[in-house]
Structure 1
Amino acid sequence: MAFEDHAPGFELKVTALPESVTGRHTPDPLRFAFDTKASAHAGGSQQPISPDLFQSQFENVLLAAEKPANRCLYVHIPFCRVRCTYCNFFQHAASASLIEEYFDALVLELKMKAAQPWTQAAPFQAVYVGGGTPTDLTARHIARLGQLIRQYFPLTNDCEITLEGRINRFDDVLFDAALEGGFNRFSFGVQSFNTQVRRKAKRLDDREVVLARIQSLSARNDAPIVIDLLYGLPYQTMNVWAQDLTDFLDCGAHGVDLYQLIPMGSTPMMDLVANQRLPPPADTASKAGMFELGVQMMDKHHLHRLSVNHWARDNRERSLYNSLAKTSAEVLPLGAGAGGHVGGISLMQCRQLPSYFDAVRQGQHPVAMMMTMSPNAAVHAAIKAGFDRGALSAKALDRAAGWDVFRWCHPLFEVWQRNGLVNVQDSYLTLTLAGAFWSVTLAQGLIQVMEQALTGNERLTA
């Protein structure tokens, strides 16, 4: 079928697009092209599925031996000893007995899902064990979890298997157990090295302890050590942020994610701010300046940029799960509170442990929410992948859409270029520094434009 058979029957009129899509024309687009970043990830529209269809719908997907180009496995460990003030995902306080009961249920779910035709149809390219705080598991649990994943799930020969966690109490016994289990990448949420910032965010351990432990783990050279840094936290001045970046460069970690703090109204941090017990987090313009400094520091020291917010010190760090799962791959979820998307549906599993335990023990899938993904999900994935990399390819976008969508979107791209957000040349759209900072906003805007166009609605509203 020709491209034109799929294209909208009208031209894209950028004059009808709201400023939330086009951005504003300003001498400083890095700080002021948009008002604020409202979401951590871009996405398209989805339709809810009735709860009485959860089991049958998911079973139908898992019984199909389809082979998607990319697939990942996500395992959720929903425990933390302490709730960080900025966190909106806290589920359960860690306790030895509860963790033991949870691990037994997780093993049941793991074996149940591993036996499905869909699961065995093709190897997984990346596995991510996240949370919560997976490093709150015992050494025995960590080693066994890795071994079970490798035993029951088909994995590519170079499969990236990541264990997420925090440095606190992550001693050599836990590290060796994880290596024994087959984990070959470790991601630690440092957020900031600064002791005052850490204490006010309820992070455990002071700067010197965290820095020394990252240095020790990195020096062993057994696997890539990656850290997350947040910018915009209370008490995190530009000078503090500059030191955070310097500490990363000095600690020897193989990679770093620089994430913008997105304040949530339901977090302890915002309650403390409202009660004047914490200064407010940085505003958008200040965070833009922090992002600019981060990019400059990474460039100055010649780190390899893997995405708009992730850098690698050497070729051992690939950030494979993040580059796949957040953009184009299907993700099979395991564990209470895990989310994923498989076979045209997205789902979230039960967050409450009693519901999760009951479902798994009865041999049912512990689904709490399920949505039908947009029929244009492949196009959305291509958009998200391009903006995450910092470059959108006309060929990749057109292939996903089945028509010449890149050319159709060119009027919007020209506006973005005039606004200092992108450059368009030789069938590629590349992000400027400002565009990289606003990458999720731009991706969401383009997805919104495509959704409206492909449903025959010419007009977008703010």
Structure 2
Amino acid sequence: MARGVYIHIPFCHQICNYCDFNKFFFHNQPVDEYIESLGREMELYTEQYKDEPIETIFIGGGTPTSLSEAQLERLFSLIHQYIPLKDVVEFTSEANPDELTYEKMKLMHTSGVNRLSMGVQTFDQELLKVIGRTHSNEHVYAVIENAKKIGFPSISMDLMYGLPNQTMEQWKHSLKEVFRLKIPHISAYSLIVEPKTIFYNLMSKGKLSLPGEDLEADMYGYLLDEMQKQGYNQYEISNFSFKGKESRHNLLYWDNDEYIGLGAGAHGYVNNNRYSNHGPLKKYMQTLDSNEKPIMLQKEVTKVEKMEEEMFLGLRKNAGVSLERFKIRFGKPLQDIYGNQLDELVRKQLIVIEDNYVKLTRRGRFVGNEVFQYFLQ
């Protein structure tokens, strides 16, 4: 049963140097036509919505705020037309600080958005240029001030560490600003250089200088310590919040629950099938013109794959993997399936089993991907 909806807006006015998501330069793109295609895709899922209470909506990208006010207004009208909102408790939109005008924020708020997720990444102006971001700190401060005036219940901020030539002092400065602003939710990710990105091309030419593993680990350790001191609850490897401000939508992913993915290149998980939509705009829109769902790939998830996902997604959460839920879902105790792996990871002090949950230790959080490999065939 799908409990969330993800909507992908694949347009950007500026492509960030680290980004490998499905996205297109805004200029000369069929943006209005794309929004109408999204509406047709929403309509094709209306039977699904009837029986399944949607609790979360997340508009991501790309950059949703690259849309004009009129385009945003049309998008929200389609959402209200086709997606039942009566059970929605969290409605998030991603945003670029320099594109988020007061008018757009007001429109979002009146349309039901109750959570803004801002891609800030760093408060160091030189690093912003290095990673290809166009906003300034002043843009961020203005958005936060306007959000308070308008009455947004929650704001989330993305930060990155392990950036090219980033120092510990620069990282400390960014965190200091976050704490000063009292942002209720923080996602903090280490830079991963993905293929088909500007950074990947630079790295392949030997022109990208990244912090060493030890410094990156120190940055993560400092993050954990400071978040705790400032009253944040770490509820996932990279996510921290004040009480009650966790991302309900992202918890759907980590709880291995189903969700509908809409838009070019979007992924979804419905009726035990994981699927991905066509990425190219033309193919995505043409398929919908034929009144067909724009699904490119679809695969039924096997029981073994489900168990693997339950482990590597669930272990991302600080709460961990519930032994009781695992047995209910799969008909066998977790220890019967993964006993050897659990024993070795406990011996290495990377996990603990307590209060009927399997959890990463602090040490395990530093090498999460290494731990997850134990549960993959």
Report the counterpart of residue 293 of structure 2 in structure 1: 365
Judging changes above 3 Å, is the alpha-carbon distance between structure 1 residues 426 and 97 closer, same or farther for their aligned structure 2 residues?
closer
Distance 1:218 1:383, change over 3 A: farther
Could you say which residue in structure 2 is the equivalent of 1:87? 19
Cα deviations by residue, 1:145-195 (Å, 9 ceiling, x for unpaired): 234323322345342111112111211100011112111111111111211
Alignment partners' CA distance in 2, 1:372 and 1:158? 27
Asked if the contact 1:232–1:260 (Cα under 8 Å) also holds between the matched residues in 2, the reply is yes
Contact 2:254–2:314 (CA<8 Å) still a contact in 1?
no
Q: Deviations over 1:436-455 (max 9, x none)?
A: 23334423422x2xxx5xxx
Residues 226 and 256 of structure 1 are in contact (CA less than 8 Å); yes or no, is this contact kept in structure 2?
yes
In 2, the alpha carbon distance for the partners of 1:276 and 1:379 equals 40
Q: Say if 1:321 and 1:384 are closer, same or farther in 2 by CA, change over 3 A.
A: farther
1:329 correspondence with 2:257: yes
Establish whether residue 217 from structure 1 lines up as the match of residue 147 from structure 2.
Answer: yes
Q: Are residues 289 and 75 of structure 1, via their aligned partners in 2, closer, same or farther at CA, if it must alter by over 3 Å?
A: same
Structure 2 residue corresponding to 1:338, chosen from 247, 263, 266 = 266
Letter in structure 2 aligned against 1:186? L
The farther-off stretch of 140-149 and 191-200 is 140-149
Give the C-alpha shift of residue 276 in structure 1: 4.6
Residue number in structure 1 paired with 2:78: 148
1:205-230 deviation line (CA, Å, top 9, x unaligned): 23343344335435654231101111
Q: Against the structure 1 CA distance between its residues 290 and 158, is the aligned structure 2 distance closer, same or farther, given a 3 Å change threshold?
A: same
Q: CA deviation at 1:86?
A: 0.8
Find the residue that maps to 2:6 and give its secondary structure: strand
Assess if the C-alpha contact under 8 Å between 2:6 and 2:261 holds in 1: yes
Structure 1 residue aligned with 2:129, among 199, 216, 228? 199
Instruction: Name 1:421's counterpart in structure 2.
Output: 350
Q: Does 1:110 align with 2:42?
A: yes
Give the AA of the match of 2:42.
L
> Looking at CA atoms only, which structure, 1 or 2, has the larger radius of gyration?
1
Match of 1:129 in 2: 59
Judge conservation of contact 1:160–1:321 (CA < 8 Å) in 2: yes
- Match of 1:264, SS? coil
Supply the distance in 2 between the matched residues of 1:258 and 1:246 (Cα, whole angstroms).
14
Please state if 1:72 is matched with 2:4: yes
CA distance in 2, matches of 1:155, 1:306: 26
Give yes or no for contact 2:96–2:135 (8 Å, CA) kept in 1. no
Q: Tell me, what secondary structure is at the counterpart of 1:294?
A: helix
The ranges of structure 1 where at least 4 consecutive aligned residues each deviate by more than 4 angstroms after the TM superposition are none
SS of the residue 2:195 aligns to: coil
Q: Taking every aligned residue pair, what percent have the same amino acid on both sides? A: 26
Q: Distance in 2 between matches of 1:379 and 1:409?
A: 10
Q: What amino acid does structure 2 have at the position aligned with 1:339? A: H
Deviations 1:275-318 (A, max 9, x none): 35442x23433322211111101001111223222111343x23
Q: Summarize the Cα distance change of 1:287–1:330 in structure 2 as closer, same or farther, 3 Å threshold.
A: same
Deviations 1:399-457 (A, max 9, x none): 222112225534322322232312233533222112123334423422x2xxx5xxxxx
> CA 1:440 to 1:221, structure 2 compared with 1: closer, same or farther past 3 Å?
farther
Residue 256 to residue 161, structure 1, CA distance change in 2 (3 Å):
same
Q: Using structure 1 for the length normalisation, give the TM-score.
A: 0.76
Q: Cα gap change, 1:203/1:385 in structure 2, threshold over 3 Å: closer, same or farther?
A: same
Counterpart CA distance in 2 for 1:110 and 1:75 is 9
Q: Is the 8 A contact 2:54 2:88 kept in 1?
A: no
Long gaps (5+) in structure 2: none
Distance 2:207 2:372 in 1: 36
Shift of 1:339: 0.8
Are residues 1:267 and 2:197 paired? Answer: yes
CA 444–218 in structure 1, closer or farther in 2 if over 3 Å, else same: farther
CA drift of 1:249 comes to 1.0
Whether the aligned pair in 1 keeps the contact of 2:23 and 2:61 (CA below 8 Å) is: no
Distance 1:434 1:145 in 2: 44
Cα contact 2:315–2:358 (8 A) shared by 1: no
Q: Give the 3 Å change call, closer, same or farther, for CA 400–326 of structure 1 in structure 2.
A: same
Partners of 2:42 and 2:262 within 8 A in 1: yes
Q: Which runs of 5+ in 1 are unaligned?
A: 1-67, 453-462
Distance in structure 2 (CA, Å) of the matches to 1:158 and 1:359: 29
Distance 1:348 1:158 in 2: 24
Post-superposition offset of 1:359: 0.8
Which has the higher mean CA deviation after the structures are superposed, 101-110 or 165-174?
101-110
> C-alpha separation between the residues in 2 aligned to 1:442 and 1:150?
42
Secondary structure of 1:71 counterpart: strand
Map Cα deviations across residues 46-68 of structure 1 (whole Å, 9 max, x no partner): xxxxxxxxxxxxxxxxxxxxxx2
**1:373-420: CA deviation from partner (whole Å, max 9, x where unpaired):** 223344234324531222222212222221122255343223222323
8 Å CA contact 2:351–2:360 kept in 1: the answer is: yes
Deviates more, 1:350-359 or 1:219-228: 219-228
Q: What is the aligned residue count?
A: 376
Structure 2 residue aligned with 1:291: 220
Map residues 6-405 of structure 1 onto 2, 5 A cutoff.
68=1, 71-95=3-27, 98-114=30-46, 116=47, 118-155=48-85, 157-218=87-148, 220-279=150-209, 281-315=210-244, 317-390=245-318, 391-405=320-334
Native 8 Å contact 2:124 2:174 kept in 1: yes
Contact 2:341-2:374 within 8 A present in 1 as well: no
1:398–1:406 Cα contact (<8 Å) kept: no
> For the residues of structure 2 that align with 1:165 and 1:234, how far apart are their CA atoms?
24
